[in-house]
Amino acid sequence: MFRNYLKIAFRVLRRYKAYSFINIIGLAIGMATCLLLFLWVQNELSYDRYHEKAERIYRAFLQWETEGQVDRFARTPAPLGPALVNEFPDVEKAVRFGMNRFLISYENKRFYEDVFFADPEVFDVFTFPLIKGDPKAVLREPHSIIISEEIKDKYFGEEDPIGKIINLDEFRDFKITGVFKIIPPNSHFRFNFLGCFRDYAARHFDQWGMSNYWTYVLTSKNFNQDKFKEKLPDFVEKYRGKEVRYKYKVTYPLQSLTSIHLHSDLRGEIEPNSDIETIYIFSAVAFFILLIACLNYINLSTARYASRAREVGLRKVVGASRRQLINQFLGESLLLSFVGLLLAVALAELFLPLFNSLSGKRLTIDYLGNFILLPGLVIIVLFVGLTAGSLPAFYLSALQPVKALKGMLKAGSRVSWLRRSLVVSQFAISIIFIFCTITISNQLSYIRNKKLGFNKEHLVNIPIYDKDALQRYGTIKNEFLKNPRISGVSASSYFPGKVSGYQNYWYEGMSDRENPMISWIPVDHDFLPTFGIELVSGRNFSRDFPSDVKGAYILNESAVKEIGWDSPLGKQFKIIEKGTVVGVVKDFHFKSLHQEIEPLVLYLCPEYFEYFSVRISPEAIPQTLAFLKDKWQELVPNQLFQYSFLDEDFDNLYKAEMRLEKIFGIVTSLAIFIACLGLFGLAAFSAEQRTKEIGVRKVLGASVTGIIILLSREFTRWVLVANIIAWPLAYYAMSRWLQNFAYRISVGFWVFLLAAALAFMIALLTVSYQAIKAAIASPVESLRYE
């Protein structure tokens, strides 16, 4: 019995090869896309959860208030950790992290590396397995350091690194006491070197004012966040005094470890985090693509079933019970969707490498290990198979044999309503995707082209790590300027999107109640001219005024507005040393366009410089770069020449959005493709259904064009309806997404029209093939209808 069903199912497949293929391919693409996106989301949600005690780990951050504005900072002072352990019985352990970049040398290998330092308790709190070394001992000795497997290979090859000495430039020698497994990629921060916190930060151990470090705590199992919050203000008062507690409302709240990657967006994060919004977007996209594919599949399957009415009638005559017919159709449907699943899995595996390179991850499809995967896929197959199968199963099996035998079924009004709404939904979803893709593209191009208030083109950034080079920065600048293609060189610590930090500042006329902080960038005399930043009033730092070095300040307009000065020039200001305001610059975008331009102060302070910024001519760029490299190696033999282009660095601030743009572009194309598959199949079916009608019309004199219009009219109406549904949803989705940007385009009406027009044209193209084919068919054939 079952074999009979199976046989028929496959033969039906083979007979309607084209339709079956369209059907299954559409479903497979939808399932494959959904699968890949699901893996991505799953990976994002898994960050930091591999730690055994992850549920009990929290990070303390710094929060304070000035003039009603709340500021949050991920970096905290060194004494915080131990103090929390002391005061709160539920806080069992604290681990502090610090980080700096050093020139690591071992034998003849020298590289700049980021080095982290942590308290030895780090292994009691986090799960960082060691390949070599005892976790209880590795960081206890002074000047000990542990390295990752990757670093071991890089510096030591096959040698055993334990006991070897490496040198952290300008700091001291460290002895390697252990090797740890590489930190998994799904961590909110990763490191390759870990030294002992005491060695790095001892001098700040009782400095509550230096918030330079990250503090993580391990709480007890029955830790109560609310109770902790209640006692926190008293804690702050005890260690920092009444003024800090009441005036500045300083506090140290906790955030759970597992929430950091997706929800934390504090200043001073170790690494840029991701965004829960992106997760929502991708989940929604995955869901909708799957939905389109399933709707498609259901639609096409049910359309085809109408032509099997005769078979149903016959089977009934010959003795099939309703139950047997239902089983047959459900079985067929499940079988087909299972085939679709196999194809989907094959597609997913095929495109996994591409997806990984797009998303920047290393995902794998782990059928056995991933608990949700297999059940999830099975559920989808069951859902799709049963839904697609039950309509024909129940509807057809209920037919009167006589009616069924009479031939093709005129689709009942209920069924065609369903079909209509399925196509409308598919197109609505596709239109929303088109709309989003266009909007995202527009926003990105707006960002790329927006005037930043300075000239970011052809500006080369060269990082300075060598302290010696820093001291001779003036000489290096002059050497660079000898090249006629170089029109300006500046030394500063500016890098797109970053500032040196936030400093407490003092200004003339400040009241006692305030404790403001401001972004600041150390710059040299040539910063303003090299970058092309406009002065609004006053002057730039000048070599004519030696006191300008560390004694003069330039503010941006927003800073002046925040302070509230009418005439800022000449006023007193201080972040490090007291000085005078000598100039005000027009606001420029030193950070990404996600954020409003903040108040900024520029300060001439050479010890802090981190980059040379070189403005080069657009001609012969490779030659200029070669010149810079040669000059650099001549002048700074101890440091490798590295460079980046400022405009690219700026673009990198929008990496997440660019990724979104790419993925949306692909997904939209897929969605449209699937929707078109569906439309194509349905158009064919509809044309077939109306064969007799078309034949009659032709005999009566209808032209080919007339027939085409007749057949297309139905579908184009549906697409127009789809627009009406899609527009408000698309608008809502994009408005919300655009709010991530302080500087954004407005959603123009023309985008709606464009999306609508595109969808309409695509639908028309799809339908026209069938329409034309039906219209040219000979009426004699069509009327020989039984």
Partner 1 sequence: MVKSKNLKKIYRTEEVETTALANVNLEIREGEYVAIMGPSGCGKSTLLNILGMLDRPSAGEYFFLGEEVSKHSERQRARLRKENIGFVFQSFNLIDELTVHENIELPLLYLGYSTSERKKRVNEVLEQMQLVPRRNHFPQQLSGGQQQRVAVARAIVAKPKLILADEPTGNLDSAHGEEVMRLLGELHESGTTIVIVTHSPAYAEYSHRIIHLFDGHIVSENIQREFKI
Binding site for partner 1 (CB under 8 A): 1, 4, 7-8, 11-12, 15, 310-311, 313-322, 324, 400-402, 405, 786
Nearer to partner 1, 51 or 316 (CB): 316
Nearer to partner 1, 119 or 332 (CB): 332
The candidate with the shortest Cα–Cα distance to 738, out of 497, 443, 430, is: 443
- Asked if residues 590 and 494 have their Cβ atoms less than 8 Å apart, the reply is yes
Tokens standing for residue 623:
């030659």
Nearer to partner 1, 310 or 420 (CB): 310
Tokens standing for residue 65:
């208030």
Q: How far is the CB of 387 from partner 1 (least distance, A)?
A: 24
Nearer to partner 1, 6 or 382 (CB): 6
One-letter amino acid at 271 equals E
Nearer to partner 1, 9 or 138 (CB): 9
DSSP per-residue codes, 50-118: TSTTGGGEEEE-EEEEETTEEEEES-EETTHHHHHHHH-TTEEEEEEEEEEEEEEEETTEEEEEEEEEE
Q: Which of helix, strand or coil describes residue 645?
A: strand
Nearer to partner 1, 105 or 307 (CB): 307
Q: How many CA atoms lie within 13 A of 784 on its CB side?
A: 5
Q: Please count the residues of the chain.
A: 786
Q: How far is the CB of 23 from partner 1 (least distance, A)?
A: 17
Measured at the CA of 255, the angle between CA 254 and CA 256, to 5 degrees, comes to: 120
Nearer to partner 1, 143 or 322 (CB): 322
Nearer to partner 1, 131 or 317 (CB): 317
Q: How far is the CB of 341 from partner 1 (least distance, A)?
A: 24
Nearer to partner 1, 103 or 330 (CB): 330
Count the neighbouring beta carbons within 10 Å of the beta carbon of residue 34. 25
Distance CA 564, CA 497 (A): 26
DSSP per-residue codes, 455-502: --TTEEEEE---HHHHHTHHHHHHHHHTSTTEEEEEEES-BTTB-SEE
Helices (H), 504-645: 527-531, 557-563, 621-635
Q: How far is the CB of 440 from partner 1 (least distance, A)?
A: 48
CA-CA-CA-CA torsion sign (289, 292, 296, 298): positive
Write the CA distances from 339 to 13, 325, 417, 528, 784, integer angstroms.
Answer: 11, 21, 28, 65, 37
CB neighbour list of residue 728: distance below 8 Å, 6 or more residues apart: none
One-letter amino acid at 586 equals K
Nearer to partner 1, 1 or 368 (CB): 1
- Asked if residues 102 and 113 have their Cβ atoms less than 8 Å apart, the reply is yes
Q: How far is the CB of 403 from partner 1 (least distance, A)?
A: 9
Using CB atoms within 10 A of its CB, is residue 629 exposed (0-12), middle (13-18) or buried (19+)? Answer: middle
Distance CA 42, CA 444 (A): 27
Nearer to partner 1, 11 or 467 (CB): 11
Buried b (16+ CB within 10 A) or exposed e, 642-661: eebbbbebbbebbebbbebb
Residue with structure tokens 């790590």? 465
Distance CA 281, CA 733 (A): 9
Q: How far is the CB of 770 from partner 1 (least distance, A)?
A: 23
Q: How far is the CB of 780 from partner 1 (least distance, A)?
A: 19
Q: How far is the CB of 388 from partner 1 (least distance, A)?
A: 19
CB neighbour list of residue 637: distance below 8 Å, 6 or more residues apart: none
One-letter amino acid at 474 equals G
Nearer to partner 1, 311 or 508 (CB): 311
Nearer to partner 1, 411 or 625 (CB): 411
Q: Which of helix, strand or coil describes residue 185?
A: coil
Q: How far is the CB of 785 from partner 1 (least distance, A)?
A: 12
CB neighbour list of residue 236: distance below 8 Å, 6 or more residues apart: 244, 245, 250, 251, 252
- Asked if residues 252 and 76 have their Cβ atoms less than 8 Å apart, the reply is yes
Q: How far is the CB of 320 from partner 1 (least distance, A)?
A: 5
Nearer to partner 1, 245 or 304 (CB): 304
Distance CA 222, CA 214 (A): 24
Q: How far is the CB of 336 from partner 1 (least distance, A)?
A: 15
Q: How far is the CB of 310 from partner 1 (least distance, A)?
A: 7
Nearer to partner 1, 110 or 322 (CB): 322
Helices (H), 250-372: 257-263, 276-305, 309-318, 322-359
Most distant CA atoms of the chain, gap in Å: 107
Q: How far is the CB of 694 from partner 1 (least distance, A)?
A: 23
Q: How far is the CB of 405 from partner 1 (least distance, A)?
A: 6
- Asked if residues 120 and 473 have their Cβ atoms less than 8 Å apart, the reply is no
Q: How far is the CB of 683 from partner 1 (least distance, A)?
A: 24
Q: How far is CA 627 from the centre of its chain?
A: 37
Helix (H) or strand (E) holding 30: helix 17-45
Q: How far is the CB of 786 from partner 1 (least distance, A)?
A: 6
Q: How far is the CB of 764 from partner 1 (least distance, A)?
A: 34
Distance CA 377, CA 367 (A): 10
Q: How far is the CB of 390 from partner 1 (least distance, A)?
A: 20
Nearer to partner 1, 97 or 395 (CB): 395
Nearer to partner 1, 199 or 332 (CB): 332
Nearer to partner 1, 309 or 452 (CB): 309
